[in-house]
Amino acid sequence: MKNKKLAFIFGTRPEIIKLSPIIRECQRKKVSFFCIHTGQHYSYALDTIFFKELRLPKPEYRLQIKSKAPFRQGEHTGTMLIEIEKILLREMPYCVVVQGDTNTVLAAALTAEKISTTSHYTGFYIKVAHVEAGLRSFDRSMPEEVNRFIADHLSDFLFVPTKNEQKLLLREGVPSSWIHVTGNTIVDALQQSLALARRVNGILGKLAISKNAYMLLTLHRQENVDSKIVFKNILKGLESVYEKFRLPVIFPMHPRTQKRLKVFNLKIPFGIKVIEPVGFLDFLSLEADSRLTLTDSGGVQEESCILKVPCVTLRNNTERPQTVLVDANVVAGTNPENILKAAIKMYGTSRRWRNPLGDGTAAKQILNILLK
Ligand code: UD1
Ligand code: UDP
């Protein structure tokens, strides 16, 4: 076990949140590990706050490779390759652990594999463990789909949330012994933080809203906010949702969305209350007590499903079909009428679905498998 040093590599809000249960499990079991933060996310509200709230150690390596999205994504990913390689060659971990589908994930997995192809020279291999493997939207125009597909096919350990992703990976030719159905670590993260979120909860009071009498909105996907037409359509749909239900829509706005809103000179409709992105605890409180979530986020689709809050997905597809299959989520697209229809449907839905995403032991299972 001593030789099995792990390298956690992450760079964005959801990666920090979803890797946190595994990192804490490493601390508990005294497993040797270190962390590299690529700096893809860097604003306090998308980065530092999560280290504090989730009681995570300061990363040993902190890079500053900020995204220039929507431009020069090759440069963004390539710079990470160069910088991550220097660290991995020095640290020689047994395995690199990545989560999800960001540029950071692609760069980290590829760097580890590139180093392994020179083992005749360096004398060592680095394995790759992909947490939340096997998800597919089947939409190659999404940067996330490209990243997750390549990361999966570079990985030695593929930790999938459900049997559905296992099936998809088998169909793509991944050997079955490399795939492990563990559930999604977001269930662990949520279970570990929800009670605390409830205890410190003051966000509803601060926003002057009450339980079940508001909706929660997040929006940040490239395909939604980098296109003026699509962004405008979504806002129109949200306006009609407000007109129909007259419930305030709380919108912690991602910096990317803030920037695009300004560039496109778009107006936020009446009834939608924009706030700065919040920490995990405040966000969980907002999610748990919301009447409905409207989102293009992957993590928010999952959390809504776990918390038994109906979800309307503001996209044309989802790589989380399990949430739709149990009737917790509906994929609305971005057309205003369809957004309203989906909101009406989900507003009236019963909340009796079962959580298909795991039992909160994913982190323990993942670490046991890595250290076997
Ligand atoms: C990235 C991921 C996406 C994930 C999301 C989580 C890629 C290609 N995309 O998208 O899969 O769902 O993170 O939130 O990896 N910005 C800031 N402060 C920050 C971070 C970003 O101002 O802390 C702004 C910058 O202008 C940047 C833009 O947001 O150019 C986009 O950042 P980027 O990390 O490329 O994409 P996200 O939309 O955050
Ligand atoms: N989240 C948060 N504060 C916010 C919005 C989201 O803490 O203001 C959390 C949310 O609980 C979820 C994660 O961020 O765990 C989702 O991240 P995001 O939507 O940025 O990325 P995605 O899941 O789409 O990759």
pLDDT (tens digit per residue) in 36-58: 999 999 999 999 999 999 999 99
* Helix, coil or strand: residue 2: coil
- Note whether residue 145 is domain-resident: yes
Asked whether the predicted pLDDT for residue 1 surpasses 50, the reply is no
- Claim to verify: residue 38 and residue 105 sit in the same structural domain: yes
Which residue's alpha carbon is nearest to atom 36 within ligand 1? 69
Residue 168 Cα to ligand 2 middle (Å): 25
Q: Are residues 265 and 178 in the same domain?
A: no
**155 and 209 share a domain?**
no
Q: Is 229 domain-assigned?
A: yes
Is residue 352 situated within a structural domain?
no
Strands 179-181 and 157-160, sheet pairing: parallel
Same domain, 148 and 262: no
Distances (CA, A) of 315 to 126, 224, 235, 295, 348: 36, 8, 13, 8, 21
Owner of token pair 């989802």: 318
31/176 same-domain check? yes
For residue 313, give the CATH number of its domain.
3.40.50.2000
- Which of 13, 207, 250, 256 should be mutated for ligand 2, with most atoms under 8 A from CB? 13
Same domain? For 205 and 138 the reply is no
In a domain, 189, yes or no: no
Number of the ligand 2 atom closest to the C-alpha atom of 279? 7
pTM comes to: 0.98
pLDDT of residue 183: 98
Q: Whose CA is nearest to atom 3 of ligand 1?
A: 102
By most ligand atoms within 8 Å of CB, the mutation choice from 256, 276, 315 for ligand 1 is: 256
Give how many domains the chain has, as a whole number.
Answer: 2
- Is residue 17 located within the same domain as residue 126? yes
Same domain, 23 and 156: yes
pLDDT at 328 over 80: yes
Instruction: Report if residue 169 sits inside a domain.
Output: yes
Tell me which of 38, 50, 67, 301 to substitute to probe ligand 1's pocket, judged by most ligand atoms within 8 Å of the beta carbon: 67
Q: Are residues 97 and 164 in the same domain?
A: yes
User: How many Å apart are CA 296 and CA 287, to the nearest integer?
Assistant: 14
For ligand 1, the distance from its centroid to the CA atom of residue 41, given in whole angstroms, is 6
In a domain, 190, yes or no: no
In a domain, 192, yes or no: no
- Pairwise CA distance, residues 18 & 290, whole Å: 22
* Least distant ligand from the CA of 297: 2
- pLDDT of residue 2 exceeding 60, the answer is no
Let me know if residue 46 belongs to a domain.
yes
Whether residue 359 contacts residue 182, with contact meaning beta carbons closer than 8 Å, is answered with: no
Ligand 2 site residues (CB inside 6 A) read: 13-14, 17, 218, 220, 252, 277-280, 283, 297-300, 303
Whole-angstrom distance, CA of residue 312 vs CA of residue 305: 11
Ligand 2 atom closest to the Cα of residue 280 is 7
Q: Are residues 86 and 19 in the same domain?
A: yes
Domain that holds residue 363: 6-184+358-371
Min mean pLDDT across 21-25, 109-113, 191-195, 289-293 is at: 191-195
| pLDDT the model gives residue 119 | 93
Q: 158 and 11: one domain?
A: yes
Residue 3 pLDDT level (bands cut at 50, 70, 90) = low
Pocket of ligand 1 (CB under 6 A): 12-14, 40-43, 46-47, 67-69, 101-103, 143-144, 220, 255-256, 259
Q: Are residues 140 and 37 part of one domain?
A: yes
- Tokens at residue 142, please? 């999404």
Q: Is 220 a catalytic residue?
A: yes
pLDDT tens digit sequence for 224-264: 999 999 999 999 999 999 999 999 999 999 999 999 999 99
